Amino acid sequence: MSKPFWKQKKLKDFSSSEWESICYHCGRCCLIKLQDDSTNEIYYTRVICRYFDINTHLCREYKKRCSLVPECLKLTPQNIDSLFWMPKLCAYRILTETGDLPKNHPLKGSFGPPPLPQALISDNLVAAEDLEDYIIEDEEL
Mean pLDDT by 10 residues, the chain (141 residues): 90 93 91 92 94 91 94 88 85 93 91 82 95 84 68
What pLDDT shows up at residue 32? Answer: 94
pLDDT value at position 110? Answer: 87
Confidence at residue 9, expressed as pLDDT on a 0 to 100 scale: 93
- Phi and psi angles of residue 56, each rounded to the nearest 5 degrees, phi first: -95, -15
Residues 6+ apart with CB under 8 A from 119: 46
What pLDDT was estimated at residue 100? 96
What is the rounded distance in angstroms from the CA atom of residue 41 to the CA atom of residue 140?
16
Q: What is the pLDDT of residue 56?
A: 87
Going by the DSSP 8-state scheme, the letter that residue 86 receives in this structure is S
The reported pLDDT for the residue numbered 92 is 93
Which pLDDT belongs to residue 61? Answer: 95
Task: Name the helix (H) or strand (E) containing 98.
Answer: helix 91-98
Asked if 110 and 34 touch (Cβ cutoff 8 Å), the reply is no
pLDDT at 139: 62
